[in-house]
Amino acid sequence: MNILNDPSMKEIVEDFCAEADSLFDQLENSLTLLEEDPTNSQELEKFGQVIDRIMGAAKSIGAAEIATFCELGKVIGYKSSQVHEIPLIEVVVAILFDSLHMLRKMNQSLREGNEKCMEKLNTKAFVTRLNWLSEKFKDIERASCAIEKRPNNLSQSSIDDLMKSLGL
């Protein structure tokens, strides 16, 4: 039995979900500010930092799908902070809004006791957008979004591996 379905750990899972909801609000605020001013790359940095906190907490309670999804968001946030093309940043913001919406649904599913939260989400269109976006970022190197246990950190294959681990 893992922590997610251990009745004695229910309070820890509930605390994670509540904290994640609060952090999701911070992410939404960063994205709203980016919608208003796509040149504000500090908000993309902030997005990456906040989603990294959620990722760490999700890993610690065994919410692997949420952690991996957050890792993907972290990579997108940090890599996009290096981009200066306003139309591309606007697309990134839209995709990150979509990912935030999906994370909220995953968190709600976890709160309801379903540890396989990706099963209920329609991800086909989202995956197409992520693939397109990862292609745009393939040449951006960024040490702060190095992916653990992957030999080619920041490579296209590392992003593909993250998506594959989510079943996307």
Map out the domains of the chain as residue ranges.
3-165
In angstroms, the CA 18 to CA 29 distance is 17
Provide the CATH number for the domain formed by 3-165 in this structure. 1.20.120.160
69 φ/ψ angles, rounded to the nearest 5 degrees: -60, -40
Are 3 and 12 in contact by the 8 Å Cβ rule? The answer is: yes
User: What is the pLDDT tens value at each position of the chain, 168 positions in all?
Assistant: 466 667 778 889 899 999 999 999 999 999 999 999 999 988 988 999 999 999 999 999 988 888 988 888 888 888 888 888 899 999 999 989 988 998 998 898 888 877 666 566 666 677 677 777 777 777 776 555 444 444 444 455 555 666 566 565
From residue 104, alpha-carbon distances to 27, 37, 81, 148 in Å are 11, 24, 23, 24
The pLDDT of residue 75 is 84
Are 95 and 22 in contact by the 8 Å Cβ rule? The answer is: no
- DSSP secondary-structure letter at 142? -
The pLDDT of residue 63 is 87
The pLDDT of residue 151 is 42
Q: Is 110 exposed, middle or buried (0-12, 13-18, 19+ CB in 10 A)?
A: buried
The pLDDT of residue 26 is 97
In angstroms, the CA 48 to CA 39 distance is 16
* Entry pTM: 0.78
